[in-house]
Amino acid sequence: MTIADLWIAVPLMILAGSALAILLLGAVIPTNLWTGAGIIATVMTAAWVGQTPPLTVAPTLALASTPAARLFIAIFSLTAAAALLISHRDNSDHGINGEEYPATVLFATFGATALSMATNLLIMFLGLEAMTFGFYILVAMDLKREVSAEAGLKYLLMGAVAAAFLAFGIGLHYAGTGSLSLTNALQLAAGNKVAHVGWGFILVGIAFKLSLVPAHLWTPDIYQGAPAPVTAFLSALSKGATVALLLLILPTGDLGAIRPILWWLALLSMVVGNLAALLQTKVRRMLGYSSVAQMGYVALALLSGTAGGYRAAVYYAVAYSVMSLAAFGAIAVIERNGSGEDTEGWRGLGRRSPFAAGTLSLALFALAGVPPTAGFTGKFLIFTAAIKAGEVPLAIIGILTAAVSAYYYLAVVVSLYMHDPGDSAAQSPSPAESVALIATGAAILIIGTFPSPLLRLLAAAFP
């Protein structure tokens, strides 16, 4: 191992070392400052990847520090920092104290980071499962809520099945091609029936991680049962990491045998996700089903097989991360006063809790694709890339389903502002929550109104 190899691995060492240090020191130093330590570690990681390493590939570690990997690491680290800010007050209220929570958040971020830097299928699989293992713990972290434990068990069982599909698929690919390298992995499988079957299994596993139909049924249950800050972190990090995984696999140009599968995944996810969300009265379940549709739009962008389509997919992954953090950060504040799970219990909250309700409304407008938010710009980029790639019918279906989605998003906003607020007490966000909500709300508007800086970064990462 050389100095250049260590340089490339520094982000992983910061995250893993910090998680281990917090766990060990937390056992002997009881304090509530470990969340702050986790935030410092994630910000250090994001700052470190701002510099270019002397070499971009570490063959002995099967890692690479490409511009795309560094961009994803910065996104994942800042997502974790925002999730820790949102979690601090909510964890205190639910008795989730100590070092386990921030250490697990860092461990999940470590897995996503390793995935984005992987140069072979084995490291990619280990990174993905390390991230998912962290989420198994986080989803079930609130031991006082039975629904949280139930959600954790469901996620564990479904995740284990998806991991088995992925591992079996990678094994078949290796048996057919004799290679685990991610470079031209799909091209190596061309004409090899065993490898083709392997890629079918790999796609099933990826569809689960990305909540694509028909592997989406776990999503509303987990969104409903997990603590709100964990749901924010899960929806932002896991979706972003899976998009990074797909970009490591998919070639530019002809997608070959994977194209029709991706086409159906995109179509079914956009249609089924939006129709199912229309029928929901519980806000969290509605957002769970809507995330299925949102990932369908990402699959539509990837289907183009062009650099423009891939940049649109990453842009939307970033936008979705910010929108999810803002939405579930606000929901964490709103649920604190026992407002219930459905929109009936949220009537008039816009006047009783104006800050949290305003942030939630902004996130919902963005998810619906209302200008000038990040959601509007992201959908515009996706549909433009799809039409340029000749996927006109699918793009039209996407536009129509996006129009349908405006109904159920705006129904929540109507409930917040168009009804009598009643006399129940209002809840104000804590200072840490306020920082996170202001930052994510501002990001929704800035990324949507001035997308050029992010698009320039994406152009450099995905030329």
Backbone angles phi, psi at 216, to 5 degrees: -110, -5
Question: Cβ distance 139 to 148 under 8 Å?
Answer: yes
SS3 36: helix
Containing H/E element for 63?
strand 63-64
Per-residue model confidence as pLDDT tens digits over 187-214: 887 778 888 889 889 988 888 888 888 8
CB half-sphere exposure, 422, CA atoms < 13 A: 13
Q: Report residue 426's pLDDT band, with 50, 70 and 90 as the boundaries.
A: low
DSSP 140: T
Give just the sign of the alpha carbon dihedral 68, 72, 78, 81: negative
What is the arithmetic mean of pLDDT over 339-368?
84
Which residue is listed with tokens 């009598």? 420
Residue 141 burial (CB count, 10 A): 22
Per-residue model confidence as pLDDT tens digits over 119-175: 999 999 999 999 999 999 999 888 777 788 888 888 898 889 999 999 999 999 999
Which residue is listed with tokens 């994406």? 458
Residue 29: pLDDT over 90:
no
Provide the percentage of residues in the chain whose pLDDT is more than 70.
Answer: 98
From CA 373, how far away is CA 378, in angstroms rounded? 9
* pLDDT of the residue at 425: 63
Q: Report residue 272's pLDDT band, with 50, 70 and 90 as the boundaries.
A: very high
* Both structure tokens of 209: 């991680």
* pLDDT of the residue at 5: 81
What is the arithmetic mean of pLDDT over 401-413?
91
Q: How far is CA 58 from the centre of its chain?
A: 27
* pLDDT of the residue at 16: 94
Q: Cα–Cα distances in Å, from 214 out to 219, 249, 270, 338, 403?
A: 11, 21, 12, 34, 22
SS3 118: strand
Q: Report residue 422's pLDDT band, with 50, 70 and 90 as the boundaries.
A: low
* pLDDT of the residue at 51: 83
Residue 303: pLDDT over 80:
yes
Of 378, 347, 356, 345, the closest CA to residue 444 belongs to 378
pTM recorded for the entire structure: 0.93
* pLDDT of the residue at 348: 79
